[in-house]
Amino acid sequence: MILDNRYEVRQLLYSDTSISLHQGYDRVLNRPVAIEQLQPQLAADPQVVARFLDTARALVMVELPHVAALYDQGEVAGQPFLIFEDPLPATLAAGAPLPAGQVVTLVQQVAETLRVAQGRGGALPVITPETVRYDADGRIQIMQTGLPAQTPVSGVMSSLGLLLLVALTGSPDGRGKTTLPPAFIRVVERTRANQYADPAALVHDLQAAERQATVQTVVVPPPSQALLPNEAPTQMTGAARPPALLQSETSGAAPTTNGPRGLGVGRLALLGLLGLLLVVSLLVFLRRPGTGRATPPATNTIQAVQPSAITTTTTTQAQPTRSNGQPYTVATANGRPLNIRQGPTIASPVIGTAAPGTTVQVFDSPVQADGYTWVHIQTSTADGWCIREALRK
């Protein structure tokens, strides 16, 4: 179907009792457009037609942000039509629920449109999940459809509240999605209870909820991939981490050790082997020819070795100093000590803790296990593994 020998009417985008909205194409300017037409049963009423055209004139005069621009108007066979800019790909009704961060951006833009419209004293645009469209870049577009009337502030908040509930949960009553962050759940509950007096208050709480729901952490790079001075660290969110496990790694519980503080079972076994090698070396030395004395029995030689000598040797090996570590600071979200484990896994025993603010040295490449990224660290009292989400540069 061609309107006015210029506009091709293509697929239907939206329809209600008063209007229909189609995707269209402008043959003269070679560009896609949206075509809005009055339903045939209303086109015979002069008052309805006048109101339909008045809406178009008001749109041109006010020029609200984020509202689809009106290009042209006309009439074919007594049926008026309006030509709008090309509509964005999806309606909120079809795409909801959206990620919480995208919802915050969407509501901010709609609230800006309402604020400007109220400030200029014109009719407010119709805000529904069907008239609000969006794209992957975060832009929104309000397709002014139907025959809007002057809307009071209470009606504005009702429309904006409905938009928020659908965008966050996929349901007009706010009960469609149950995995929202707690901060956003509180905003949903207040919206359902009609506790927001104006759009600005709702936007303020949404922005606060977004800040609370986002836990910024630093990804620790391997030594061979250190960050350049002008390179920003990668940000990670708390939603990507298992909450229960993250809490357990900064629980502040007393560490369980297997031997001296900071030494694991494997390190104790190594030190025991070093002690045995020392005893064997003494035996070999005492049996060498030319020592000027008879070789005593092996049992006496063992008795001649002083425990203090072995102790001194093992003590000097307890915490070797490395030279290729990178300094990081413990920054746990809950302010509790960070657990240091013998290996990169939750099942590995805790061999020590590090209080918030402690400087640690990070070595080797990160290891993925149990839903965490683990890094090898060394403190003044322990050498082990911890979750890198609790560290910052």
Spans of the chain, pLDDT less than 70: 122-123, 145-154, 177-178, 215-269, 284-324, 333-334
Residue 155: the pLDDT is 75
Residue ranges covered by each domain of the chain? 2-85, 95-213, 237-258+322-392, 265-316
SS3 label, residue 322 = coil
- Amino acid (1-letter code) at residue 45: D
Non-local (6+) Cβ contacts of 367 within 8 A are 344, 373, 374, 375, 385
Structure tokens at 330: 């413990």
Which pLDDT belongs to residue 112? 92
DSSP letters for 8-75: EEEEEEEE-SSEEEEEEEETTTTEEEEEEEE-HHHHT-HHHHHHHHHHHHHHHHH--TTBPPEEEEEE
Tell me what pLDDT residue 303 has: 45
CATH superfamily of 237-258+322-392: SH3 Domains (2.30.30.40)
Q: Find the helix or strand (DSSP H, E) in which 120 lies.
A: helix 100-120
Right CATH for 2-85 from 1.10.20.10, 1.25.40.420, 3.30.200.20, 3.30.70.3000:
3.30.200.20
Helices (H) and strands (E) in the chain, counts: 11, 18
pLDDT at 110: 93
* Per-residue CA distances from 196 to 55, 154, 186, 187 (Å): 29, 10, 12, 10
- Domain 95-213 fold is Transferase(Phosphotransferase); domain 1 (1.10.510)
Cα–Cα distance for residue pair 68/59, rounded to 1 Å: 9
Distance, in Å, from the CA atom of 41 to the CA atom of 19, rounded to the nearest integer, reads: 10
pLDDT, residue 75, reads 92
How far apart (Å, rounded) are the C-alpha atoms in residues 19 and 100?
32
What is residue 220's predicted lDDT score, i.e. its pLDDT? 38
